């Protein structure tokens, strides 16, 4: 007999949400959540290390209709959870204004074309607004701008900002309180290795071993590290992309995104209110390649090297990525943003000042302790990177590798995991209860 029916490695938003979902909607009796550090969501899910946006796919201009539809469905599950489990006046999931800003004729055409497609059916409240209305909603976006500069925006009827660290805590706490299910959450439990058995897996954390009928690795970049430990890599490698933020006084009422560059997996710099401090805005994230699996944890560089395949397919993939003029320009520009003295001025000129023209150099401050790692996955078979996350599913084990905006889809990802666990182990999935509380399950699932 195994110690647990399900062991989850990683206590960020992906792991904690899965613990909650499995404890409430899956017929299992024993669940273990192992977290490396001393608190839930101490890395990328921490409120300081992400943009705190609940992505619906409406203002994300690089999403096609089908991608936007899936993103919307995933985000709506979080809103339903917040209203039913946290209450409408909670401070974890808060409504806020949001728009995507187009500067110049070319970007304006992108917005108009986007709205003319089927997006207006999927988001009936999404509408295009001109300079006059932008000025009313976000005065500082217009103030100080050259009168001849053309701008427009797509305004979403509903937006949310989320403290994903606090949301992770909520998932973990509610998992513990579920009836008829034993949920153990062990902090400061660094997983060292995993071994495949005839009927499950043994996970070694510190000097202890835990056997599981089913294991899920929700450990961000480390999920691929452990997949490779078992030979489950499917020819993937990771580029660890770090992101920094600049902080300013509160100049924006809501979220102001920019038009996204097609085919680029990381978002253009945007301005956001700060959910943990209503007196400031954040602008970012910048883009930098960091040789570590966890931001500001240089001791993880060796594991990064072990995760990276230094073979011909990987080298060719990197070459193909860097052959893109757009990608080279983005990386070169962002390297400058991290330099002392000139970095802030260039960031103001090229990024933040395009959103708030009246922003001054003295208003910007590099938020040194902000920003996490977003794993960009290299597919060595396709010789390029994947736009999005990866979910590796094998016999009684799943590896979730979730770049931004993985937090927005945590409940959708968890649902997919539940269905696979149910199919693999025979554990009953309480579908009717799930649909009543968190929304419909795809009929093909």
For 152, list phi and psi in degrees, rounded to 5.
-150, 175
Percent of the chain at pLDDT exceeding 90: 70
Task: Give per-residue pLDDT as tens, 336-390.
Answer: 998 888 999 999 999 999 999 999 999 999 887 888 888 888 888 888 887 677 8
Predicted local distance difference test score (pLDDT) of residue 443: 59
Predicted local distance difference test score (pLDDT) of residue 341: 83
> At which residue do the structure tokens 């949310």 appear?
160
Predicted local distance difference test score (pLDDT) of residue 256: 98
Predicted local distance difference test score (pLDDT) of residue 390: 86
Q: What is the DSSP letter of 444?
A: T
Predicted local distance difference test score (pLDDT) of residue 79: 96
Q: How many CB atoms lie within 10 A of CB 136?
A: 9
Q: How many residues does the chain have?
A: 445
For 302, list phi and psi in degrees, rounded to 5.
-65, -40
Predicted local distance difference test score (pLDDT) of residue 385: 80
76 Cα distance to chain centroid: 16
Stated as kind and residue range, the H or E segment containing 349 is none
Q: Please state the rounded mean pLDDT for residues 180-187.
A: 97
**Residues forming a β-bridge with 151:** 103
Q: Please state the rounded mean pLDDT for residues 124-149.
A: 96
The answer to whether residue 184 scores a pLDDT higher than 90 is yes
Task: Give per-residue pLDDT as tens, 222-233.
Answer: 999 999 999 997
Predicted local distance difference test score (pLDDT) of residue 263: 66
The answer to whether residue 234 scores a pLDDT higher than 80 is no
Task: Give per-residue pLDDT as tens, 389-417.
Answer: 789 999 999 999 987 678 999 999 999 99
- What is the pLDDT of the chain when averaged over all its residues? 92
Predicted local distance difference test score (pLDDT) of residue 83: 93
8 Å CB contact between 102 and 151: yes
Integer Cα distance of 37 and 239 in angstroms: 23
Task: Give per-residue pLDDT as tens, 276-318.
Answer: 999 999 999 998 888 899 988 989 999 998 888 888 888 898 8
Predicted local distance difference test score (pLDDT) of residue 1: 67
- Torsion angle (degrees, nearest 10) of CA 315, 317, 320, 325: -100
Task: Give per-residue pLDDT as tens, 62-81.
Answer: 888 898 999 999 999 999 99
Integer Cα distance of 282 and 255 in angstroms: 10
Predicted local distance difference test score (pLDDT) of residue 266: 72
Confidence class for position 445, pLDDT limits 50, 70, 90? low
**Which domains are seen in the chain, by residue range?**
4-438 (3.50.50.60)
């Amino acid at each position: 007999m195994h110690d647990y029916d399900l062991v989850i490695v990683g206590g960020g938003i992906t792991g904690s949400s899965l613990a909650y979902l499995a404890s409430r909607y899956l017929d299992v009796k024993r669940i273990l959540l192992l977290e490396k550090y001393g608190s839930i969501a101490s890395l990328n899910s921490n409120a300081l290390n992400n943009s705190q946006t609940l992505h619906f796919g409406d203002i994300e201009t690089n999403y096609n209709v089908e991608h936007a539809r899936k993103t919307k469905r995933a985000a709506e599950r979080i809103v339903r959870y917040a209203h039913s489990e946290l209450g409408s006046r909670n401070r974890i999931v808060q409504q806020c204004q949001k728009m995507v800003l187009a500067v110049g004729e070319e970007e304006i055409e992108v917005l108009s074309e986007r709205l003319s497609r089927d997006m207006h059916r999927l988001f009936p409240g999404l509408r295009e607004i001109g300079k006059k209305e932008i000025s009313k909603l976000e005065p500082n976006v217009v103030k100080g701008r050259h009168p001849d500069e053309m701008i427009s925006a797509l305004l979403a009827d509903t937006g949310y900002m989320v403290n994903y660290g606090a949301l992770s805590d909520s998932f973990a706490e509610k998992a513990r309180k579920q009836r008829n299910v034993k949920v153990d959450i062990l902090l400061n439990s660094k997983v060292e290795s995993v071994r495949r058995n005839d009927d499950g897996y043994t996970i070694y954390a510190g000097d202890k071993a835990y056997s599981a009928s089913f294991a899920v690795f929700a450990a961000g970049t480390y999920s691929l590290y452990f997949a490779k430990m078992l030979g489950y890599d499917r020819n993937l490698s990771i580029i660890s992309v770090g992101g920094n933020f600049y902080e300013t006084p509160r100049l924006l009422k809501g979220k102001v995104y920019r038009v996204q560059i097609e085919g680029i997996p990381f978002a253009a710099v945007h301005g956001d209110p700060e959910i943990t401090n209503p007196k400031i805005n954040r602008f970012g994230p910048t883009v930098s390649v960091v040789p570590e699996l966890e931001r500001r944890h240089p001791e993880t560089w060796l594991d990064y090297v072990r995760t990276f395949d230094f073979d011909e397919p990987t080298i060719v993939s990197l070459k193909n990525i860097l052959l893109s003029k757009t990608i080279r320009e983005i990386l070169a520009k962002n390297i400058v943003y991290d330099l002392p003295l000139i970095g802030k001025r260039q960031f103001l000129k090229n990024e933040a000042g395009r959103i708030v023209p009246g922003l001054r150099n003295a208003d910007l401050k590099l938020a040194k302790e902000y920003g996490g790692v977003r794993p960009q996955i290299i597919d060595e078979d396709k010789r390029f990177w994947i736009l999005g996350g990866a979910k590796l599913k094998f016999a009684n084990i799943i590896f979730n590798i979730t770049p931004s905006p993985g937090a927005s889809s945590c409940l959708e990802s968890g649902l997919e995991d539940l269905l696979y666990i149910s199919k693999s182990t025979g554990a009953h999935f309480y579908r009717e209860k799930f649909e009543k509380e968190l929304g419909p399950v795809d009929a093909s699932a």
